[in-house]
Structure formats: structure tokens, C-alpha cells
Amino acid sequence: MPPIAASEITPEAVWLSRRRWLQQAAALALGAGGLPPALAAADASRPALPAAPNPEYWLSNKQTSEKDVSSYNNFYEFGTGKTDPLEYAAKMQTSPWTVSVEGEAARPRSFDIDDLRKLAGLEERIYRLRCVEAWSMVIPWTGYSLAALLKQVEPTSKAKYVEFVTVVQPGNMPGLGDRIIDWPYVEGLRIDEAMHPLTMLVFGVYGKTLPNQNGAPVRVAIPWKYGFKSGKSLVKIRLVEKMPVTSWVKIAPREYGFYANVNPGVPHPRWSQATERRIGDGFFAPRVDTLMFNGYADQVASLYAGMDLGKNY
């Protein structure tokens, strides 16, 4: 049999994304039918965000449904319940929006969200998301590597860490009344983690701009770390010399560390991290084994060579 010309093979990534586009078109033709009203309303106002599928970052796992991705959320600014973000996040104002990139940089500046979105080519990537609460999802994000933005401001040699500061909108965020977190929600990465190509600046999900509850208009996604590292609705990115005091470390340093790498061998003090529940599989479905670095060990293990990951949790 003659070999098939490479040009005739549709990479799985391209094929899947085309198929989803067709499904979306079909769903649009049918109307928003079964969606809860809040979801349907948010959906109608969210423009499509065309992006090239990146086969390098593509998983064949079954994707979590768009409905689950946008209705089962952690976004404490809107409350601690999983459906609070869906219920309350619509009030958050996402336009106009600027992100200031400052600190240890030769060319600090702020970016209007429309310019930021166009700074690099948008890609669609499917990532695992593993929450520290031992549930997980498989999500198609749209964005590009955060490194593309950081390079624009030229980090100085003193830039050892990156701090992410998220938005605070009193009046629009009913969760701010809970003083669990000393707002704003702050997260951070070591500079080499932030520059790693897997670390993604995210503007969209499921081929459309982000719903507010997923961190509109821009958030990060760091797939080898527990979900709390991925700050949503970013307003400031600071390059700093010292390790930032991040929100969860401040609340409970014995339970949550700065690194927060997904690690089935290092339990949370109050529960195991060895397995996870895939959202959408049903409560009684068998749990899935959690993978070291959430399945991204080949790409990121070298960042932690020689480090004691039990101590640096």
C-alpha cells in the first residue's frame, strides 16, 4: 500500500477543533435550549475567539462539558459555593480593562485588553485542571504562552518571581464580604515557571471569550499545579525579587505551599492527593489516579531537579 501523503492526514487536534466548531454551529441553530438561564445569557454575549489548535498541547481525554466548565467553579470573590460564580459573576465589569506589567522590568507598561489579546497568535490547547480539592477537568483554553508577554517588558536580572494580582470590584463581588482571603487574591510563580511554554495566558475557553466565572477577560492556566495557582481576572503582573506571599499560603501555610505542584505522593494534611474525581463522570464513577505534575512531568520535572518536593509542597 502506498504511504498516505502527510498532507492528507488531518492532525487529531485540527480534526477535533473542526468537529467542535460544527457542533457549536449546530447548537446555535437549535438555540440555547437546555442551558440554565444565566449560562444561556452569558453565552449569547460572548463572541467567538478563533484560534489555531496546537497539537503539541492536546489531550485525547474526554473533555469536560462546556456546561460543567462554566457552572462548577472556584472564584471566592463571588462566594465559596461551586455555583456562586455562575450566579453572581455577571455583574463583574470586564470592559474597559487594562493589565499592568510592572516591577523588575526594563520596559514596564500597561496593556489594554484588546492589545493584549493580539500580542501573540492565539492557540487552542487542551489542558488538565486538577483542583487541590481532588476533583479535575479537561478544558480547551484559548490564549498563548505567558512568556510572550513577559518578554515584551524585558525582565531584569532581579526578576526572580512573578506575582499575579486579580481584580477587586466592591459592589460587584458578594464574596468580598467573607474575610477568608485578604483581597485581592494573589498568586505567584518562580520566573522559570512563568517563562515555561506550558504557562498560558488565557482569554477564552471552548472557542469563545471567557465567561466571567472562568476569569474574564484574562487569567492564567498552569496545568501542572493545583488549580488555585491559576489566578483569574488579572489586573496586575509584577516581576519581583522575593517570593510573593500568595493568598492560600497566607491563610494556611501548613496546608498550601508556594509551589503547589500536583503530586499524588504528597498528601494534603487533611486528605489524600493520590486520586481525583473527574467532574461530569458522575459521583459514583471510579476515581482516576492523579499523575505526577498532573501528567506534565516530561515537560516540567527538570524545573525541580534536586528539590525536596515533600518540603517544597
Ligand X SMILES: Nc1nc2c(c(=O)[nH]1)N[C@H]1C(S)=C(S)[C@@H](COP(=O)(O)O)O[C@H]1N2
**Taking contact as CB under 6 A, which single stretch among the options 73-81, 100-108, 277-285, 287-295 is the one that binds ligand X?**
73-81
Provide the 3-class DSSP secondary structure of residue 123. strand
Q: Are strands 275-278 and 109-112 parallel, antiparallel or unpaired?
A: unpaired
Instruction: In whole angstroms, give the CA distance from residue 101 to residue 122.
Output: 20
Query: CB–CB of 124/141 below 8 Å?
Result: yes
Could you tell me which of 147, 250, 158, 144 has the C-alpha nearest to residue 202? 144
Contact flags string 137-166 toward ligand X, x per CB under 6 A: -----------------------------x
Give the residue with the Cβ less far from ligand X, 104 or 214. 214
In this chain, which of 57, 76, 224, 293 binds ligand X, going by CB under 6 A? 76
76 is in an annotated binding site: yes
Give the residue with the Cβ less far from ligand X, 230 or 261. 230
Q: Which three cell numbers stand for residue 228?
A: 488555585
Verify cis geometry, omega within 30 degrees of 0, for the bond prior to 2.
no
**Taking contact as CB under 6 A, which single stretch among the options 11-19, 94-102, 106-114, 226-234 is the one that binds ligand X?**
226-234
Query: CB–CB of 138/62 below 8 Å?
Result: yes
101 near Mo ion, judged by CB under 5 A = no
In this chain, which of 211, 227, 231, 244 binds Mo ion, going by CB under 5 A? 227
Instruction: In whole angstroms, give the CA distance from residue 235 to residue 241.
Output: 20
Residues that bind Mo ion (CB under 5 A): 74, 131, 227-228
Residues that bind ligand X (CB under 6 A): 73-77, 129, 131, 166, 185, 214-215, 227-228, 230-233
Q: Which residues are annotated as a binding site for Mo-molybdopterin?
A: 73, 76-77, 131, 166, 214, 219, 230-232
